[in-house]
């Protein structure tokens, strides 16, 4: 698997234009395949109630500044109005843009499921501390230790080929089947969200999908 995925990752990752310079790409999967690929699965981490009627699937890279902006400035408002009230749930999926993002995603997924989103939040908020340094592994290890992961477990995590392949496969499927070209990218109840990822834009679309009381 490693020999298959890493050449693909290298081709897909290292020349990604800014989101503002990209035109929306049409998915290549059929509607039925899209529904299957976007359905919440056992490997997904869900933020919110699993039976919430609206599902937001986000593809993000932990080294992406735009993803950090969404996490820090937009998501708290969505949580308050939509997620914490049981109206919507968020599923974050990996779309690493570089090696540091790949390893960070692996580390986050080695955390207990109930600690995944707090760990992701910490990684986004400390992005400049680890995501822009050449020795990102040492910086990630310090953050992981603060989250309760010892050095032995950290090393085992970032060297785990099965975990590596899952993260790479997430990006490959999103790019090849779902038309994802930039981060963050969102799907709301199976439909690509093409607006600006602001609270106001999300609030408007989610309001149109919410069950009428």
DSSP-assigned states of every residue in 80-111 = IIIITTTSEEEEEEE--SSHHHHHHHHHHHHS
Residue 146: give its domain's CATH number: 3.40.30.10
> Is residue 12 assigned to a domain?
no
* Predicted confidence band of residue 20 (pLDDT cuts 50, 70, 90): very low
pLDDT in tens, 194-208: 889 999 999 999 999
CA distance 95 to 185: 9
> Is residue 5 assigned to a domain?
no
pLDDT in tens, 130-150: 999 999 999 999 999 988 999
> Is residue 145 assigned to a domain?
yes
> Is residue 37 assigned to a domain?
yes
First to last CA, the chain: 49
Residue 18 reports pLDDT greater than 50: no
* Predicted confidence band of residue 28 (pLDDT cuts 50, 70, 90): confident
For residue 139, what are the domain limits? 29-209
Residue 113 reports pLDDT greater than 60: yes
The better pLDDT of the pair 35, 23 is held by 35
Residue 160 reports pLDDT greater than 50: yes
Overall domain count for the chain: 1
pLDDT on residue 67: 97
> Is residue 48 assigned to a domain?
yes
> Is residue 19 assigned to a domain?
no
Which token pair is 124? 């986004």
Weakest mean pLDDT among 16-30, 71-85, 156-170? 16-30
Residue 119 reports pLDDT greater than 90: yes
Mean pLDDT of 167-195: 95
Name the burial class of residue 61, with classes exposed (0-12), middle (13-18) and buried (19+) by CB atoms within 10 angstroms of its CB: buried
> Is residue 125 assigned to a domain?
yes
> Is residue 79 assigned to a domain?
yes
């Amino acid at each position: 698997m490693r020999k298959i995925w890493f050449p693909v990752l290298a081709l897909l990752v290292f020349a990604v234009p800014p989101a503002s310079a990209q035109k929306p790409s049409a998915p290549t999967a059929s509607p039925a395949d899209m529904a299957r690929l976007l359905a919440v699965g056992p490997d997904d981490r869900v933020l919110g109630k699993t039976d919430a009627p609206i599902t937001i699937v986000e593809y993000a890279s932990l080294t992406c500044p735009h993803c950090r902006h969404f996490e820090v400035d937009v998501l708290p408002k969505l949580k308050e109005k939509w997620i914490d009230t049981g109206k919507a749930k968020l599923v974050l999926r990996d779309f690493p843009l570089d090696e540091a993002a790949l390893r960070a995603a692996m580390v986050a997924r080695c955390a207990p499921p109930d600690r995944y989103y707090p760990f992701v939040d910490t990684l986004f908020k400390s992005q400049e501390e680890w995501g822009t340094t050449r020795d990102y592994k040492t910086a990630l290890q310090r953050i992981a230790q603060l989250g309760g992961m010892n050095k032995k477990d950290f090393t085992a995590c970032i060297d785990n080929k099965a975990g590596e392949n899952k993260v790479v496969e997430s990006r490959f499927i999103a790019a090849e089947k779902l038309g994802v070209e930039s981060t963050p990218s969102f799907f709301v109840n199976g439909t690509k969200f093409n607006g600006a990822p602001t609270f106001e834009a999300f609030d408007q679309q989610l309001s149109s999908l919410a069950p009428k009381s």
